[in-house]
Amino acid sequence: MNDQGNGGIRIVAVLGTARPGNFTAKALALVIDEIKKHRDIAVQVIDPSTMELPFPGADEDSAQTRMLQETVAEATGVIFSTPEYHGSYSSVAKLVIENLGFPSVLAGKPVALLGVAAGQIGAIKALEHLRSVLSHIGAIVLPGPVSVAGVQSVFDDEGRCLDDQIEKRIRSVATNLIDYTRRNICPRVALEAMTRRGPPVRWVPPEREATETSE
């Protein structure tokens, strides 16, 4: 897991593949770069290739699972990225979801989606299936998922995007999630904090205070 920034808003980005040199990571890197433009936002990347996540039911007390759940539970918003494999999202992304507990720590959290595929129609099926699963466990899946078609021709060997319009769409995964968070999550958090502090102290003029005290 990689952590950047220490702002009040925390976004967790899940890399949904463990394949070396994958294109999903190149697309997700643009999203991360867009998030880093905001100094008040911290972003943490979950890379399953650096973790040993157990299969469901294999290790109910896995330290890696607990760390993953704590990381996502503390997030203000989440980004899921996935390649399209066999007409659906990756088994690696599903393994991450399975390790987020039941009830899932994703419940009630805004989630933005990014998918890549080699084919001409992009990762449409993968994103549809992923949206369905995330919605089922209670996540707030944002509209406007981004699908990148023909991804093998979109990036060069250094990870640079070769199409300005596609890059703009990929970066919109970050901006859409940030906009939603600022409009909907931050005001709610502030209201909850104010509620926990109790009602505001009522100011009473000194002359009136003396009258009220004597009554």
User: The whole model's pTM is what?
Assistant: 0.84
Residue 12, domain extent: 2-214
What's the pLDDT at 213? 45
What's the pLDDT at 58? 85
Nearest Cα residue to 170 out of 178, 161, 180, 179: 161
CATH number at residue 126: 3.40.50.360
Contact predicate 37/6, CB 8 Å: no
Contact predicate 141/111, CB 8 Å: yes
In a structure prediction context, what are the per-residue pLDDT tens digits for the chain, which is 215 residues long?
555 444 489 999 999 999 999 999 999 999 999 999 999 999 999 999 999 999 988 877 899 999 999 999 999 999 999 999 999 999 999 999 999 999 999 999 999 999 999 999 999 999 999 999 999 999 999 999 999 999 999 999 999 999 999 999 999 999 999 999 999 887 665 545 544 555 554 444 545 545 544 44
Count of domains observed in the chain: 1
Q: Which two tokens stand for residue 62?
A: 């896995």
User: How would you classify the pairing of strands 77-83 and 9-15?
Assistant: parallel
